């Protein structure tokens, strides 16, 4: 398992204890604003955010395709646009103020980060007790193919 933390060297052969410490550091006012846990080259889980507001995602890569999921929760009422801030250094924004634009239902807390990343670190799988929204179509529209129409319609496992 590889652990990536903002402002630190990548840590190959990371342990569960390393991930626990990294999550604890993330909660500090001066800690890293994002963490990535990788299992091989085909999947990862990540969290980004500050001030108790986090976005938690997981990606599985297969060949040239991928599926990307974001932890979400049910809301009573409309699901409004929301912003989570991260990055200690950004060329456009003040420190720790770089925006990630998501839906309010996709904003989690530190307990969600712990659950998602520790389950992923231990098993290499998404925690089935959390609700995961497939956001692959949102990300696919940013990728272009080199054929006639230039658009990728859907990426799915074979």
Query: What are the pLDDT digits (tens) for 19-37?
Result: 999 999 999 999 999 999 9
Query: What are the pLDDT digits (tens) for 97-132?
Result: 999 999 999 999 999 999 999 999 999 999 999 999
Coil, helix or strand at residue 95: coil
pLDDT category at 153 given cuts 50, 70, 90 is: very low
As a whole number of angstroms, the distance between CA 118 and CA 103 comes to 24
pLDDT category at 147 given cuts 50, 70, 90 is: very low
pLDDT at 134 over 80: yes
Residues in CB range of 60: below 8 A, 6 or more apart:
42, 43, 66, 67
Residues in CB range of 72: below 8 A, 6 or more apart:
103, 105, 106, 131, 132, 133
Only one residue has tokens 């052969």, namely 13
The pLDDT of 55-70, averaged and rounded, is 92
Q: Please tell me which residue, 140 or 41, carries the higher pLDDT value.
A: 41
Of 55-59, 91-95, 150-154, which range is least confident?
Answer: 150-154
pLDDT category at 75 given cuts 50, 70, 90 is: confident
In which element (H, E) is residue 17 found? helix 16-26
């Amino acid at each position: 398992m590889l652990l990536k933390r903002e402002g630190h060297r990548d840590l190959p052969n990371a342990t569960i204890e390393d991930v626990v410490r990294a999550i604890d550091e993330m909660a500090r006012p001066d800690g890293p604003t994002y963490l990535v846990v990788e299992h091989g080259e085909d999947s990862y889980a990540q969290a980004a955010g500050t001030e108790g507001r986090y976005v938690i995602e997981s990606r599985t890569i297969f060949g040239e395709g991928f599926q990307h999921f974001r932890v979400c929760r049910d809301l009573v009422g409309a699901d409004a646009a929301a912003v989570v801030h991260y990055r200690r250094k950004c060329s456009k924004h003040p420190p720790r103020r770089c925006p990630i634009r998501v839906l309010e239902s996709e904003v989690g807390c530190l307990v969600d980060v712990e659950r998602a990343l520790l389950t992923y670190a231990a098993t290499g799988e998404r925690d089935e007790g959390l609700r995961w929204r497939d956001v692959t179509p949102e990300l696919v529209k940013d990728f272009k193919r080199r054929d006639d129409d230039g658009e990728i319609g859907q990426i799915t496992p074979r």
